[in-house]
Amino acid sequence: MMDANQVAELRRFVEKLQSNPSILHDPSLVFFKEYLRSLGAQVPKIEKTERDYEDMAETKPSFSPKHDDDDDDDDDDDDVMESDVELDNSDVVEPDNDPPQPMGDPTAEVTDENRDDAQLEKSKALEAISDGKFEEATEHLTKAVMLNPTSAILYATRSSVFLKVKKPNAAIRDANEALQFNPDSAKGYKSRGMARAMLGQWEEAAADLHVASKLDYDEEIGTMLKKVEPNAKRIDEHRRKYQRLRKEKELQRAERERQQQQEAQEREAQAALKDGQVISIHSTSELEAKKKAAKKASRLLILYFTATWCGPCRYMSPLYSNLATQHPRVVFLKVDIDEANDVAASWNISSVPTFCFIRDGKEVDKVVGADKGSLEQKVAQHSTSK
């Protein structure tokens, strides 16, 4: 018996399934989905995805055009639309939705007499099969499994009868029971593979039939594989094609995002650099931010060290402002060495005015003193070089 907590947990899970049935297609719940199918439940098909072919609905043997809606990309031309897979569905049948057939109680004690009676019912069933009386055969086999509920061969035999009357879901349920009691049941794999082929579950059918072939090959398995494998191969090729296209799309999207991020960073850096203006620096951290922004924007940066008491600085400052206007793509910074003495100390400034030319975060040139001509010449030189 389940305790109250387990029941409450199960109730929450069922409520989740009711609100979002697609949860069933989680790969970790394949066992639960198979169990539901074995009871005759109709598993809802996946909406707008193509990645999990195990979860294809039983009523839909081939693929339809779908969009990859996992993408929030606004570029409609970038969406990958999946085309139909050309499959041979000539032998596919409508799924049977009958209530699950009776199964024996595996915990029941089986006596020798039960086994003998079950074997007798099986013999009657085989005779009925040879006469084409499949309903009668099913009745005998049902009696047999009730008498000997852990016999894999009985379930596998009844499964083969369900195949003859085109009831693939019932056949799968019996095949699953057979494989539960005997994981090496060739007949169980064979019946389930053939039933899945009837439902258009080509890849699953091929997998079961290959196992059956390895366990106990017969001509019927070989014939069925010749029908199933071409469809399974087309589906696999189809999946690989669209996985490749989606991978290419993801790479393209990643590259676009990288470029957009880089452009946004450059715009942000450019906005902080104030084209055509002289920017005053008050701290080392402020200077580092401007150096980083200039490096991102691939711009030349000039660092002008000055002081309010410096006469030559007052002589050079108007020229420096004019040069900033003339060269808007160059970053012109100004540092008062008394106000930001930590900056001056880190640059070993011993006299003012001093002009340091910085490219990619590194000093590439310097002008010391009130030399207008030299300053103009070096600004022109470095602003046009990389």
Q: Which residues are catalytic?
A: 310, 313
Residues 6+ positions from 268 with CB-CB distance below 8 Å: 293
Label residue 166 left, alpha or beta by phi (over 0 means left) and psi (-120 to 50 means alpha). left
- Distance (Å, whole) CA 36 – CA 98: 14
Q: Are strands 301-306 and 66-67 parallel, antiparallel or unpaired?
A: unpaired
Question: What is the C-alpha to C-alpha distance for residues 17 and 300, in angstroms, rounded to an integer?
Answer: 61
Provide the token pair at 224: 């069925």
Please state, in angstroms and rounded to a whole number, the distance separating the CA atoms of residues 117 and 145.
10
Q: What is the DSSP letter of 105?
A: -
Q: Closest Cα partner for 49 from 306, 194, 243?
A: 243
| 3-class DSSP assignment, residue 75 | coil
299, exposed or middle or buried, with CB in 10 Å at 0-12, 13-18, 19+? buried
From the list 188, 132, 127, the residue with the least C-alpha distance to 158 is 188
> Which residue shows structure tokens 């779908």?
66
Q: What letter would DSSP give residue 25?
A: G
The amino acid at residue 8 is A
Q: Is the dihedral of CA 130, 131, 135, 136 positive or negative?
A: negative
